[in-house]
Every structure is written in C-alpha cells, then in structure tokens.
Structure 1
Amino acid sequence: MTIYVVTVPGTFLDPPSDGARQEMVRALRPADPQGNEFGEAEALDILTVYDGTPAFSIHLEVEADTKTAAGDGARELIRGALRTAGLPVESASLGEPVITGIAGE
C-alpha cells in the first residue's frame, strides 16, 4: 500500500453554511495531509474555498494500492464528510481527483 496525497476540485452547487464547512473539515481531519512530510512542506489545508466563488479544493491523504483507488477513496471520504455535515452529496459537484504527492510506501 502507498500513501497518496490527493487533491479533489469541486464546486458547491448549494453553498454550505460556515458551520457545515467546519463540520466537513472535522469529518475529514483523520485524512489531513499535514500528518506527512509532503503535506507539511506544501502547507496543505484540508478544504480551500476560493473567495468570491463556489469553487473549492480538498486535499487528503489516502492509503491505496493504486492511484485510481486513491482517487476513488478520496471521493468517498468527501461524500462521507458531506453527509456528516448534514449536506446532500449532490450539493457539491466533484471534479477528477489528482494525485499531488506520494508520501510513502
């Protein structure tokens, strides 16, 4: 298994409240890339929402056998965080996951 840092871009179709965004971050905290050297060096935040737009990106650490599995795992973590925050999964359109680092094997 390899630890991947995965970035998933997206768009909030129905912008969440600040409280819901904070709950999403709490739900994603176990997959925070700050826990590895790559994440620390890049100063990655879990959730970045771009000012004045509904666009966001989420950076996660995922352990998987392949890059494809890492991307799929990241998307599933995000869907789970949306549900935990009380948001419908359909409230965020997720783009294609991108492997932005390999933290280790």
Structure 2
Amino acid sequence: MNTPLDSSNVLQELKKVYASIGITDKTFHDLRHTYATRLFELGEPAKTVQELLGHSNVSQTLGTYTHVLEQQKKQTATLIDSIYDEDNDNDRKLNIIPFG
C-alpha cells in the first residue's frame, strides 16, 4: 500500500528495516548523524554539510559535529609531523633548506 511520504511513515518503514536486520537501538536521527559525520570525514566543507542537513546556520552544524573536526585536526597534525619525521627523507622532496 502506497502512502504519502511523511516523517511518521518514513520512521515506520525504517523501524521495519531495522527490525529485519536485528537493530533495536538506533533511530532515524542516528542515520542523520552518521551521514553528517561521514561528510566531514570526507572533507566536505561545513557550509555544504549545513545546507544538506537543513540547519539554519553553520554554527549549529559546527557545534554538533565538533568531535569530528577535532579528529580531522589531529590527523592533519600527524600528516604535517610526518613531513619533518627524521626517519622520512622528505626534506629533499620538499626542497626544505635547514636553518643554521
């Protein structure tokens, strides 16, 4: 039976899918959160994620997903650290001239 697409119908169908695969502790909001988290992990700009989620401003999006951005910051710092790793011969590749 076809029914109009509204939030309660979508939620009912999602619950059926969850039940059929043995998931009992997840909500629609969990899917939304996962979607946004994955977008940030892929490097999508905050403004794009904000618009896709329908948040009224980017501050709401950034406030909700700060933990993902912290993880990205650490990954970026690790990448930068690897440039200067003594075990790595990147100095010549990057044309880094040592001071002193």
Scaled by the length of structure 1, the TM-score of the pair is 0.24
Structure whose residues are more often helix by fraction? 2
Larger gyration radius, structure 1 or structure 2: 2
Instruction: Specify which structure has the bigger relative contact order, considering alpha-carbon pairs within 8 angstroms and separated by 6 or more residues.
Output: 1
Which has the larger strand fraction?
Answer: 1
TM-score for the superposition, normalised by structure 2: 0.25
